[in-house]
Structure 1
Amino acid sequence: MNAQIVHCTPGRLRIKIPAARHNIAFFSDLQQKLLSAEGISSVTINPTAASLVIVHDGDVDPRAVCRSLPGLAVTSFAMCPHTKAIARGDSERGNDTDLVFLLAKLLPLIFAGHPIARLAEIVGEPILRAVVEDMMRPRSYRLPVTAKEEEELVAIAA
């Protein structure tokens, strides 16, 4: 049976097997065989989409994982580089700024009948970014808003 690598990142491999679409028994059997292999931490099957996702240790070569699949001729190895994953910090994920961007783009659409909507988009995005950045900072790193808060922080620290 032919299988194709459709997505490959360090530690994760997604394979499609079109000929086995809707064959639950085939995918379940394949899942059990792969889970027994060393270095494989999880296998998620989707018989409806004719695909499976293999999560493996960074030290496992995805090509070797593919070759170990019984009865399958796996193609598209060129799409599957073998590299180590690079850890990213939370600040690089961009979840908070993605929300800000979405709000800055959607709010003017909601109020599109108003002539000031475009100006709100241009001015609002940097303000929203600053507010979200301040809210995402741990409380101990926020700048005090008033002199009273500053005195309270000094008293707590002492």
Structure 2
Amino acid sequence: MFRIFKISNEYNMIKHLFIICSSLFLIFISTGCSSSVDNSIKFKNFASGDIYINFRGELISVASGKTVEIKDVTKGTYNYSTTYEVPANTQSSSVQGDVSGNIIIKAGTKILIVYSSTFVDGTYTIYATISSSDDQTNTTGVVTP
């Protein structure tokens, strides 16, 4: 009779331990993985003309003074390039900065690309700068146009 009581206690302890471990496992699974992607890329156009970004096989138009945001971008490396309109009477144009390149998206990445321009002595210059919510070390690589 003493032996049956001891086996019953061991069985109950194992059963309780199994329930606790299973509960902890389910809690970690349900809170550890998010079903939504919180990555985004914003294109802000402060340039005097409209810009067009070739990104993921689509042409994204951003009018002067406007912002376009692409949400739910999955993780990966993406290439982008920019085409731009020049004002009338422009004799030449040039680009400076991150007008084209690669963007590396990780979990929770937010990218901002800002465009601006100048028009001096008949030369239109468009500038682009990029910033990321990730560590800037090896997050974006610029491809020379």
Given the two structures, how large is their TM-score scaled by the length of structure 1? 0.22
Larger C-alpha radius of gyration, 1 or 2?
Answer: 2
Instruction: Return the structure number with greater strand share.
Output: 2
Q: Which has the higher contact order (CA 8 A, sep 6+)?
A: 2
Instruction: Return the structure number with greater helix share.
Output: 1
